[in-house]
């Protein structure tokens, strides 16, 4: 009836161990890997009436990259290796010397560059065709090289116009650069050729 007894403190020394266990459990079961990859957009599925009339593109505007089942690479009419793809693609996209066998240049006013007129190969298409037996790794390397070609050209132009690399530009500036070098890699309708 006299003094109130003090509540004894709960022994919490093991809480740390428990939370350690939880921590370790989560470390084991989760994965931290940030997924990286090459983003692509597929074309819309062909409409019924569109199937037969393929869009005609002038021959000089197409760069055909073909890979056969033995992973040999053909760009236009020449055999080459994966390392050559980037340079060939850059030459094709830019067509700096206005060669007749490379895509046609058109004068285009670009708003984002202060209404400057640029010579643009806006109708060019790079078409990648593979065989059903081609290795995915080779196909991926080619795609990677093509994207690298575009990125390098854009970086060059961005440095020349704005003094910075493409990725550091504002959105409007990036749009302007993209207008000069639009990315046109076609995912061709699958064809079977060259044997299985």
Partner 1 sequence: MSRFNKGGGREMPEMNTSSLPDLIFTILFFFMMVTTMREVTLKVKFEKPVGTQLEKLARKSCTSFIYIGQPTDALRGQFGTAHRIQLNDKYAEAPEIYDYVMSDRGELPEADKPFYTVSLKVDQRTPMGIITDVKQVLRKAYALKIVYSANKKQD
Q: Contact residues for partner 1 (CB under 8 A)? A: 12-13, 15-16, 18-20, 22-23, 26-27, 29-32, 34-45, 67, 130-137, 139-141, 143-144, 147-148, 151, 187, 190
Residues 6 or more apart from 45 whose CB is under 8 A from it?
A: none
| Least Å from the CB of residue 65 to partner 1 | 13
| Least Å from the CB of residue 179 to partner 1 | 20
Measured from the CB atom, is 31 or 101 closer to partner 1?
31
Measured from the CB atom, is 80 or 133 closer to partner 1?
133
Locus of tokens 């236009």: 76
What are 119-124's contacts with CB under 8 Å, separation 24+? 120/179, 120/180, 121/61, 121/93, 121/94, 121/95, 122/182, 123/57, 123/58, 123/61, 124/61, 124/62, 124/63, 124/92, 124/93, 124/184
| Least Å from the CB of residue 73 to partner 1 | 13
| Least Å from the CB of residue 187 to partner 1 | 7
Measured from the CB atom, is 60 or 69 closer to partner 1?
69
Q: Residue 172 corresponds to which tokens in the numbers above?
A: 């409007």
Measured from the CB atom, is 23 or 96 closer to partner 1?
23
∠ CA(90), CA(183), CA(169), 5° rounding?
A: 90
């Amino acid at each position: 009836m006299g003094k109130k007894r003090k509540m004894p403190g709960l022994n919490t020394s093991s809480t740390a161990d428990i939370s350690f266990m939880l921590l370790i459990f989560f470390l084991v079961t989760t994965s931290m890997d940030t997924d990286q990859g090459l983003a692509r957009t597929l074309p819309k599925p062909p409409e019924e009436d569109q199937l037969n009339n393929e869009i005609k593109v002038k021959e000089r505007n197409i760069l055909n990259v073909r890979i056969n089942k033995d992973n040999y690479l053909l760009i236009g009419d020449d055999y080459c290796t994966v390392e050559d793809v980037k340079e060939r693609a850059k030459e094709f996209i830019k067509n700096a010397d206005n060669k007749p066998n490379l895509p046609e240049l058109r004068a285009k006013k670009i708003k984002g560059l202060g209404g400057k007129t640029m010579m643009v190969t806006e109708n060019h298409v790079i078409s990648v065709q593979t065989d059903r037996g081609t290795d995915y790794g080779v196909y991926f390397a080619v795609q990677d090289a093509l994207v690298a070609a575009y990125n390098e050209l854009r970086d060059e132009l961005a440095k020349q116009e704005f003094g910075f690399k493409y990725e550091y530009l504002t959105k409007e500036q990036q749009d302007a650069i993209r207008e000069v070098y639009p990315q046109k890699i076609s995912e061709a309708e699958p064809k079977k050729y060259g044997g299985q």
